[in-house]
Chain A
Amino acid sequence: MKTLLRGPVGTAAGFTLGAVLLLGVAPAILPAFNLGLLGKFLCFAIVAVGIGLAWGRGGMLTLGQGVFFGLGAYIMAMHMKLADASLFGGSGVPDFMSLYGSGEVPGWWEPFRSPAVTLLAVVLVPGLVALVLGLAIFKRRVKGAYFAILSQALAAAFAVFLIGQQATTGGSNGLNGFRSFFGFDLKDPNNKLMLYMIAAVVLLLSLAVARELMHSRFGELLVAVRDQEERVRFLGYDPATVKTVIYVVAAVLAGVAGALFVPLVGIISPADVGVIPSIAFLIGVAIGGRATLLGPVVGAVCVAAAQSGLSSTFPSFWVYFQGLLFVLVIGFMPGGLASLPALVRRRREVPRGAQPPVPDPPAPGPVKPDPDVPNPAAHGRATAPEEVSR
């Protein structure tokens, strides 16, 4: 199982290569429009890192990531609308409010005038919502299936709520038409490049955090909760705490991604946050390999790229394709693409003596993947760099 590219050296190498590709090569060779698109895909990839942790590692099927994405995005969008209104309108009232609303800024918008509050809220609001919901659900040992359904209902309710509040959230049109981002003009190509860079750096940072989490004792505990929750409880840990923590991490990542999405894409609407987009986040994660570190990122970027390429040209074909992806990947390849090398390696590897029927006592360091577990988890070590560059 040991290749040269495992362990800290391999990780550092892979990480550096990814950084060079994202921060150096991509801006140099891609035209501005495509770079903006790539920035949008990177936002989805940040969400995917969180889903990989919560779902792939923790076994929690979270179908409500759109809510956290939306919270981060709407908070950022509200700030940008207010800032634009002060900079260009002079009145301090966002344009759509004069159209649909009373022409007065509602009280709950006001805190987001301040850039500092906005940046804090982008992290804290999704985190707190996830904390409350996570504690409410996990502490009372509500079943996994119930959690999935409740998180989905949350996404549905959130979208309905946004659409219903035409006067204060822009309704189904969402918020759009931004002109500046913290005082930087959004039309300026340099600022667009800066936004892309920020997204890439945030993605790399979230990958680093995810890797540290996976390799910590907490990460081992998380996988243990996924595979044998009762056993973990009998060992004296509280699975609810483990699950809540990782759910909050995933929510914060989604919120930050949403906040970056708004200046990059220029619009946030209920269509980006409801039930369908929330589930669509999952498919990229599943294709790449839900339990790996880089799989979700690669999968999310590939699916987003495919979607933006295909859905405009062949809208009907894209929906069929998306449906088929769910059926084929989840139904027949639950480990995703990341499980392919492992399968090939398992074929090639000469068995070093017979496998003992009882698993070895867990040695410090990465756990051996258990061939009996239906969800073959590659254990978050850095993948070979050629996989990064795909």
Chain B
Amino acid sequence: MELLIGQMFAGLSLGSVLLLAALGLSLTFGQMGVINMAHGEFMMAGAYTAFVVQQAISDAGASLLVSIPAGFLVGGVLGLVLEAVLLRRMYHRPLDTLLVTFGVALILQQAARDIFGAPSVDVRAPAWLQGNIELLGAPIPLTRLFILGLSLLCLAGLVLLLKATPLGRRIRAVVLNRDLAETSGVSTRRSDQLTFFIGSGLAGIAGVAVTLIGSTSPYLGTNYIVDAFLVVVAGGIGQIKGAVIAAFALGVLQSVFEYSTTASIGKVLILIVIVVFLQLRPQGIFSLITRSLA
């Protein structure tokens, strides 16, 4: 029983990390069709932000609380710059954005290596997040609980923003029908910029979060990017609720597979599950009902 609960929680916690990483992607990919391979590197930037903030503020608790908004800003600004310099010209070539942003990802990775060095650095978790709590006899690490809470908080914030604010309405309008939104007076240009800022900012927060469960290296982004994309694909493009279900489903599946086989075979099994799933629902769990043929 304890083992089962431990496993389930490991899955949930992996799912929450995936969700944090995929939320921003779901937004940028869904709104603009831009496949941002540098999203993982924005996470890395967030993680290094946490590291730098901790150098300045030695108290681990305070530095964590400062890092979260700081990480959001760093990620968001990187996203804004990327959008303004490159992606703005490439909205009619969505597949090529993948390769361009991959180039950006390479540059950011190397920059991190040159600035912080190739060896990984550690960010100390605050004292109130060290240790475990008992849940039905199974030890649950507090850091993972914190990440679960943080990702749910980000999710709630994003859903509120999209559902309950004028800005969110504009973003949803652009997702559903860009041309009609533009003719109705929505500035798609501004909506694109904001979407990119928020989506990349969420990557920054995700980066801060993962410093609690592992060390930070220039390759941090590459560990998450493929899985985050798979979450978006399985969930359905531009579908927040799809991303939520897919993230937790993949997280639980992966911990189950890893427990019953090995990590390496688990990865392959996950991929097979997704391909089979796309046979049933080629558009992902949820898909926007549109009249387009593609």
> Which A residues are within 8 Å of any B CB, using their own CB?
59, 61, 63, 133, 136-137, 140-146, 148-150, 152-154, 156-158, 160-165, 229-230, 275-276, 279, 282-283, 286, 316, 319-320, 322-327, 330-331, 334, 374
Contact = CB atoms under 8 A, between A and B. Distances in A.
Contacts of A59: 95
Contacts, number: 134
Contacts of A152: 226, 229
A330 B233 CA distance: 24
B86 A153 contact: no
A286 B99 contact: yes
Given A275-B222, A320-B107, A164 B263 contact: yes
> Considering residues B98, B222, B279, which has the most beta carbons from chain A within 10 angstroms of its beta carbon?
B98
Contact of A157 (B106, B267, B283): B267
17 contacts: A140-B279, A141-B282, A145-B98, A149-B35, A150-B271, A153-B271, A158-B268, A160-B264, A316-B113, A319-B107, A326-B99, A327-B100, A327-B103, A330-B103, A331-B90, A334-B93, A374-B92
A61 B103 contact: no
Contact of B110 (A143, A153, A163, A319): A319
Contacts of A158: 268
Enumerate the 8 nearest inter-chain pairs by beta-carbon distance, A residue then B residue, closest first. A164-B264, A326-B103, A323-B106, A323-B107, A319-B110, A327-B103, A323-B103, A140-B282
B52 interface: no
A161 B263 CA distance: 8
A330 B274 contact: no
B161 interface: no
Contacts of B293: 230
Contact of B294 (A143, A153, A326, A374): A143
A145 B279 CA distance: 16
Nearest to A63: B98
B35 A148 contact: yes
Interface of B: 29, 33, 35, 86, 89-90, 92-96, 98-100, 102-107, 109-110, 113-114, 222, 226, 229-230, 232-233, 237, 262-265, 267-268, 270-271, 274-276, 278-279, 282-283, 293-294
A319 B111 CA distance: 10
Nearest to A164: B264
B282 A161 contact: no
B104 A145 contact: no
A71 to B, nearest CB: 13
A270 B233 CA distance: 25
Given A149-B232, A149-B233, 9 more contacts: A136-B278, A140-B278, A142-B278, A143-B294, A145-B94, A145-B237, A156-B226, A157-B270, A162-B264
A302 B98 CA distance: 23
Contact of B86 (A157, A160, A327): A327
Contact of A136 (B92, B103, B279): B279
Contact of B33 (A141, A142, A145): A145
A160 B267 contact: yes
A149 B230 contact: yes
Contacts of A140: 278-279, 282
